[in-house]
Chain A
Amino acid sequence: DVKVTQSSRYLVKRTGEKVFLECVQDMDHENMFWYRQDPGLGLRLIYFSYDVKMKEKGDIPEGYSVSREKKERFSLILESASTNQTSMYLCASSLSVGQGVYEQYFGPGTRLTVT
């Protein structure tokens, strides 16, 4: 059974703290993604990675960075958390299939609250 796990389901941090969100997949997928999900806005792509040590900015990368040192692990970093980063964060992984037709497998999400 395929699995994407995220380090925390719920997280509460203070403004200005450095926050690490961890994601691990056990499917040997090349691609990994970080999204944030806010009511009425759907899923917005923050960053994605198509290989170890490779990363690409998504639609809303400001205030975030990522790290992919191993194929199975993709970390999202909030260098200095702010209240407008309070959100649900979803990690996903997928195989690389030509023309972008691939299934994404999602983790259960981390609900981050920044106070």
Chain B
Amino acid sequence: TQLLEQSPQFLSIQEGENLTVYCNSSSVFSSLQWYRQEPGEGPVLLVTVVTGGEVKKLKRLTFQFGDARKDSSLHITAAQPGDTGLYLCRGAQKLVFGQGTRLTINP
């Protein structure tokens, strides 16, 4: 049983579209992180969210931490081919990663 469930597992959309991916858990996390992994590389940290209800923006990426600190979402506006990759969420204190969302942005 995955402690962190990510959905969807796969997403393929056209350049310019918007999308949202989700990270859900039945457990409360003190903080949650999002990483992106490109082919042939290790994951790289995008953001850490700590406070329930927190929203952080990183250019066209918007991250939100649920009020109860059990879930998080990542919204990408006007997706570009450079956003292609595997997006992983991680609950900090349990060293647990979700299974990831593999995102493909088609030109």
Seen from chain A, the residues whose Cβ lies within 8 Å of a Cβ on chain B are: 4, 33, 35, 40-45, 48, 58, 90, 92, 99-109
Contact = CB atoms under 8 A, between A and B. Distances in A.
A46 B73 CA distance: 27
Contacts of A41: 99
Contacts of B93: 99-100
Contact of B42 (A40, A45, A92, A100): A92
A51 to B, nearest CB: 16
A-B pairs, 10 with minimum CB distance: A106-B42, A42-B99, A100-B93, A43-B97, A100-B92, A42-B97, A103-B45, A101-B31, A106-B43, A42-B100
A35 B2 CA distance: 15
26 contacts: A33-B95, A40-B9, A41-B99, A42-B2, A42-B6, A42-B98, A42-B99, A42-B100, A43-B88, A48-B95, A90-B42, A92-B42, A99-B93, A100-B30, A100-B31, A101-B48, A101-B92, A103-B33, A103-B45, A104-B35, A104-B43, A106-B41, A106-B43, A106-B44, A107-B42, A108-B42
